[in-house]
């Protein structure tokens, strides 16, 4: 089964690469048929990715959300899911051309973690990754990690939309861009909705994490590096929402703020584990 899960993940990686190429080709030749094909291949890639995650859970005998590989592949899965939802909801296939490279990069990072894991298995056996440390043997694991995955996926989409906003003025005015990319005002509103979705789930994540931490370590908050940077990320997006709602803040500054927020998300996820190990440093 481990081999089957690895094959499904490899197919997922290849499929995400094909999706990215199709979206880029769509942008280059401006043929609507290519966007439809890209979306269908993305749906197929998402289905295979889902199958890989489900098989991983069966293989591990637990929720597959406990180490770097499992979380990073779920991160890519969530970004793919949220981008598909926004593409469908807003009739916005060009979003895929900006979101699919980010999804691919996250999946490639997951692939690097997968290789590390295979080396560990070769040296120590599959039980070395199947058995969880005591702190992770909790019913809170699934809720806590699921909510943060959706939050990160939503923030990833807001990042993509912010980049599109910042590049919109550099795009030559022509029928294709006008027909397939919303005006800056619309991009700004869609990005705001994505941040709102992410904040809702991140707030749930932090609160559930505090309850779990008290059960596991006897304290609701320990100023662990992961906790601290999760809080920093939450504050950044909270400031964005506050300025947006109370001051009517939008435009270029808001887009840059969203982009910086997602960089904090990436640091919280990857940078903290690499540079600032602590209670949440699970390999």
Helix %, strand %, coil % of the chain (to 5): 80, 0, 20
pLDDT value for 139: 73
CATH topology of domain 137-283: 1.20.120
| Residue 190 to residue 3: CA distance in whole angstroms | 40
For 210-240, give the DSSP string: HHHHHHHHS-S----HHHHHHHHHHHHHHHH
pLDDT value for 1: 67
Report whether 72 contacts 25 (CB < 8 A): no
pLDDT value for 219: 80
Report whether 199 contacts 148 (CB < 8 A): no
Report whether 52 contacts 4 (CB < 8 A): no
- Return the structure tokens found at 237: 């997006």
The structural domains of the chain, with segments of one domain joined by +, span 1-131, 137-283
Residues whose CB is less than 8 angstroms from the CB of residue 110 and which lie 6 or more positions away in sequence, other chains included: 9, 69, 72, 73, 75, 76
pLDDT value for 172: 61
pLDDT tens per residue across all 283 residues of the chain = 678 999 999 999 999 999 999 999 998 888 889 999 999 999 999 999 999 999 998 988 888 877 889 889 999 999 999 999 999 988 888 899 999 999 999 999 999 999 988 888 878 777 667 776 666 667 777 788 889 899 999 999 999 999 989 887 776 665 666 667 778 888 899 999 999 999 999 999 999 988 887 887 778 777 888 888 889 999 999 999 999 988 888 888 999 999 999 999 988 888 777 765 655 555 5
Measure CA 181 to chain center: 22
pTM, full prediction:
0.84
Helices 140-168, 184-217: axis angle to 10 degrees equals 160
pLDDT value for 173: 60
Report whether 234 contacts 203 (CB < 8 A): yes
């Amino acid at each position: 089964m481990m081999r089957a899960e690895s094959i499904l993940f490899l197919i997922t990686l290849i499929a995400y690469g094909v999706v990215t190429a199709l979206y880029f080709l769509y942008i280059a030749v401006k043929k609507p048929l290519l966007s439809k094909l890209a979306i269908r291949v993305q749906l197929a890639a998402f289905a295979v990715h889902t199958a890989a995650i489900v098989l991983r859970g069966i293989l591990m005998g637990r929720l597959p959300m406990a180490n770097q590989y499992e979380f990073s592949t779920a991160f890519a899965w969530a970004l793919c899911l949220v981008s598909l939802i926004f593409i469908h909801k807003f009739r916005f296939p060009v979003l895929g051309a900006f979101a699919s490279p980010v999804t691919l990069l996250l999946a490639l990072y997951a692939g690097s973690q997968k290789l590390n894991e295979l080396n560990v298995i070769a040296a120590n056996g599959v039980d070395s990754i199947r058995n969880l440390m005591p702190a992770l043997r909790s019913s809170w694991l699934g809720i806590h990690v699921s909510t943060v995955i959706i939050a990160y996926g939503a923030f990833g989409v807001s990042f993509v939309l912010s980049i599109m906003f910042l590049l919109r003025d550099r795009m030559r005015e022509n029928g294709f861009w006008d027909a397939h990319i919303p005006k800056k005002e619309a991009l700004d509103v869609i990005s705001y909705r994505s941040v709102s979705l992410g904040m809702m789930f991140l707030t749930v994540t932090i609160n559930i994490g505090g309850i779990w931490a008290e059960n596991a370590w006897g304290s609701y908050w320990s100023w662990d590096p992961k906790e601290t940077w999760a809080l920093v990320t939450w504050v950044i997006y909270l400031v964005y929402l506050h300025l947006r709602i109370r001051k009517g803040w939008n435009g270029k500054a808001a887009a840059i703020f969203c982009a910086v927020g997602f960089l904090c998300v990436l640091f919280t996820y990857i940078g903290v584990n690499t540079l600032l190990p602590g209670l949440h440093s699970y390999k």
